[in-house]
């Protein structure tokens, strides 16, 4: 099997830091997949820590930020990957994603969902939290006070885009993201840096990646099933 490689560098590199993304294409002529692993190649900074001065019985005395999670071998977690340019026809798949509040942290930190999906908001802490989601930095997606432990609220994700979530109840370090798409061709990397986007028809598309700290990149790829696809960001 042949190997096709693409390279992107210079000003488009994520915040000037190295990132390697290796992908593979699926079956020729039919539904295929693009998948692989994202590897952070820059020097990994120490996690930022913030002091906690309120609700310490639930939140502790300090919290580490989750803005850059790099595992063994540079595996980059919480990077969103999606494909643009696929002919219309496949609609976004509606699911339910769960966002919990545990130890004054949102978990999971980064999620992906299809337009029309629901977000199940939970509070597992015995302290007042607020779940304030802002779509594309402009308008509220939801804004829910959750004062009691065990409280559950569902909210519909009505529009595509990036929902940034924060707590307005004095827990300024709390953050999470839900990236909402109007198509089914998306994924988020796990703790090993891996992702997979199935059911892609053959064609030439734009593969995009987004990370809260490192920014966004894009690269043209061709999925034909006859050869592996390797995309390298430097």
Residue 24, pLDDT above cutoff 60: no
User: What CA–CA distances, in Å, run from 155 to 99, 130, 143, 197?
Assistant: 11, 14, 10, 26
User: Looking at the structure, do residues 159 and 132 belong to the same domain, yes or no?
Assistant: yes
> Mean pLDDT, to the nearest integer, of 94-103?
97
Q: How confident is the model at residue 196 (pLDDT cuts 50, 70, 90)?
A: confident
pLDDT of residue 222: 79
**Taken in order 194, 199, 203, 204, is the CA torsion positive or negative?**
negative
CATH number at residue 166: 2.60.40.420
Q: Are residues 100 and 167 in the same domain?
A: yes
Residue 201, classified by CB atoms within 10 Å of its CB into exposed (0-12), middle (13-18) or buried (19+), is middle
Mean pLDDT, residues 198-208 taken together: 87
176 and 95 within one domain: yes
Task: Examine the domain organization and report whether 100 and 65 are in the same domain.
Answer: no
Instruction: Look up tokens 């990646």; give the residue.
Output: 209
Q: Is the pLDDT of residue 30 over 90?
A: no
**What local confidence, expressed as pLDDT, does residue 36 receive?**
81
What is the domain count for the chain? 2
- Residue numbers of the domain that contains 210: 1-84+187-234
Please tell me whether residues 77 and 2 are part of one structural domain: yes
Total-model pTM: 0.87
Q: Is the pLDDT of residue 193 over 60?
A: yes
């Amino acid at each position: 099997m042949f190997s096709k490689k693409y390279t992107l560098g210079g000003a488009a590199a994520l915040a000037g830091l190295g990132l390697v993304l290796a992908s593979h294409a699926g079956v020729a002529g039919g539904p295929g997949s693009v998948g692989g692993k994202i590897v952070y190649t820059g020097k990994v900074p120490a996690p930022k820590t913030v002091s906690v001065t309120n609700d310490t019985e639930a939140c502790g005395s300090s919290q580490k930020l989750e803005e850059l999670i790099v595992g063994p071998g540079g595996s980059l977690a919480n990077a969103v990957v999606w494909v643009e340019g696929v002919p219309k026809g496949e609609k976004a798949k509606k699911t339910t994603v769960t966002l919990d509040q545990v130890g004054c942290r949102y978990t999971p930190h980064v999620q992906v969902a299809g337009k029309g999906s629901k977000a199940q908001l939970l509070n597992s802490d015995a302290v007042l939290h607020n779940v304030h989601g802002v779509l594309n930095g402009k308008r509220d997606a939801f804004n829910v006070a959750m004062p009691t432990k065990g409280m559950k609220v569902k909210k519909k994700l009505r529009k595509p885009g990036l929902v940034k979530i924060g707590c307005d109840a004095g827990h300024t370090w709390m953050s999470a993201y839900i990236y909402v798409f109007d198509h089914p061709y998306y994924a988020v990397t796990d703790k090993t840096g891996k992702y997979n986007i199935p059911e892609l028809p053959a064609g030439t598309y734009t593969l995009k990646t987004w990370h809260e700290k490192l920014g966004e990149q894009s690269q043209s790829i061709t999925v034909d099933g006859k050869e592996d696809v390797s995309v390298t960001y430097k």
